[in-house]
Structure formats: structure tokens, C-alpha cells
Amino acid sequence: MENEGAENRDRSRLSRKSIPVKDRLIFALDVPTVEEAKCLVETLGDSVMFYKLGLQMFMAGGYYEFMDWLRQREKKVFVDLKFFDVPETVKLAVLQLKNKGATFATVHGNDGILKAAADNKGDVKILAVTVLTSLDRGDLDDLGFQCDVEALVLSRARRALALGCDGVISSGLEAARLRDELGDRFLVVSPGIRPVENRGADDQKRTVDVAEAFLKGADYIVVGRPIRNAPDPKAKAEEIQRKIESLFQN
């Protein structure tokens, strides 16, 4: 089983932040319509308390209204729009989130972009994208990066934190080095979570399982397709929650 033996592995990087255990699972609500999204939220019930709303939901229309709908149900919201534009535009975009009830928002880009977001974040925590989990070494070669993935993630994370970001989006594969070199006073949110038997089955290339992500230092994990495509999404979410609880119960 995925979590078998986790209790016997190195727990020194396990997050000690005061985060409710159920909030550590963020569900990526990637569906084409608000109606489907609401149906999924109602199906999942109290098995999921934190939802990531990305570009697909944004393009479905009614993004803010749907955020309100989630907040009325005491759910947390992660605005994953990966703001990437000239700094002034990113600043204005982040300011639009004021009083909208978002917990996290993602920003992607250079120092000026990250600083513009961090300086205007208000009550939203800014997470800097390091390297997308759909990219591997070959993709970075194609993009002209002359360093390995881990080094690039570390470099981007170090800059983002120095500029005032609250944390980073990083594969669990790189989380351990981030913790070892940068400490634990920032957030690591890890997408690309896959059961061991499903790795390599889709466009996510740098993946870990639930236990690996947390044992390497993640504070939160983002799970989408493994829950959404399960025969019983609520049962799958509850299974993941039990795995998380087993790690943090001591």
C-alpha cells in the first residue's frame, strides 16, 4: 500500500505548522462548468475543505460568485491563475483579490512580478510557481535552462521568499532540498500527487505519492484527477484524508 512503512521513514521534515489536518488536502476543481463544480463539491461534502480554482474554472464564468458560494459553505479557496504579466498589471490583479476570501494565489515570473504581488497581497498568501510538475529535464533543455530541475526550483524559491512571497508551488521531489536549505518558515504546496501505480499515466512527470510529499516537507498537497476520476470521488478523498491523518496524528 502507498502509505505502508511511512511511520518508519524519516519524519524530520514533516510540517509542524498549525494547519488543520483536513485542510492539508487541496482538491483541484478542474471541470468545465460551475454546475459540475458545485455538484462535485456537494458530492465530496466534508471530505474536502480546500479547493483550488484554476484557469478552466475562471474561463467557465462566475469565478468570484463561485468563490462566494464556496466560502458560504466554509470552504477555503486557492486562486490558481498563475499571474504572469508586467509588474503593474500583476499588482492590479492581486489587488482585485482584496476581501474576496482567497487563502492562496499563485504568481509566476521574475523578481519584479513576484515583488509586485508580494507587496500588494493584503490578506492573501502569495505562492510562487517554481517549475511546473508537467516539466522534466528534457523540457527544461528545450526551454534553454542550463541547470537541473532541483537547482532551478531552489533558485526560484530562494528569490521568491526574499521578495516577500509566503511560499512556493513545488513538486514533492524537490521539497526535501527546499526544507534542508531554506528552512521551514514558508509554505510548500505540492501538486502532481499520484498513487504509485498511476505514475506516468498522464501529463504529470515529476510526481510523488501522498506520504512522500509530506515526509519530504510539503505543508499541503494538491490532488485533482485521482479524486475526480475515481468511481467514488468522496471515498477516494476520504482515503487520502486517512493517509494524511495517519502521518500527523502523533
Catalytic-residue membership of 76: no
Q: Could you read off the pLDDT tens digit of each residue along the chain, which spans 250 residues? A: 444 455 457 899 999 999 999 999 999 999 999 999 999 999 999 999 999 999 999 999 999 999 999 999 999 999 999 999 999 999 999 999 999 999 999 999 899 999 999 999 999 999 999 865 554 555 545 545 555 677 888 888 999 999 999 999 998 888 999 999 999 999 999 998 855 444 444 444 446 899 999 999 999 999 999 999 999 999 999 999 999 999 998 6
Helix (H, G, I), strand (E, B) or coil at 239: helix
Fold observed for domain 6-248: TIM Barrel (3.20.20)
Write out the DSSP string of 107-149. E-SSHHHHHHHHHT-TTSEEEEE-S-TT--HHHHHHHT--S-H
Determine what percent of the chain falls in helix, strand and coil, rounding each to the nearest 5. 45, 15, 40
Q: What are phi and psi for residue 183, nearest 5 degrees?
A: 90, -165
Which one of 17, 22, 76, 82 is the catalytic residue? 82
Q: In the numeric block, which cell numbers belong to residue 190?
A: 505540492
Map out the domains of the chain as residue ranges. 6-248
Instruction: Single out the residue of 113, 146, 112, 107 nearest to residue 130, CA to CA.
Output: 107
What is the C-alpha to C-alpha distance for residues 73 and 41, in angstroms, rounded to an integer?
A: 10
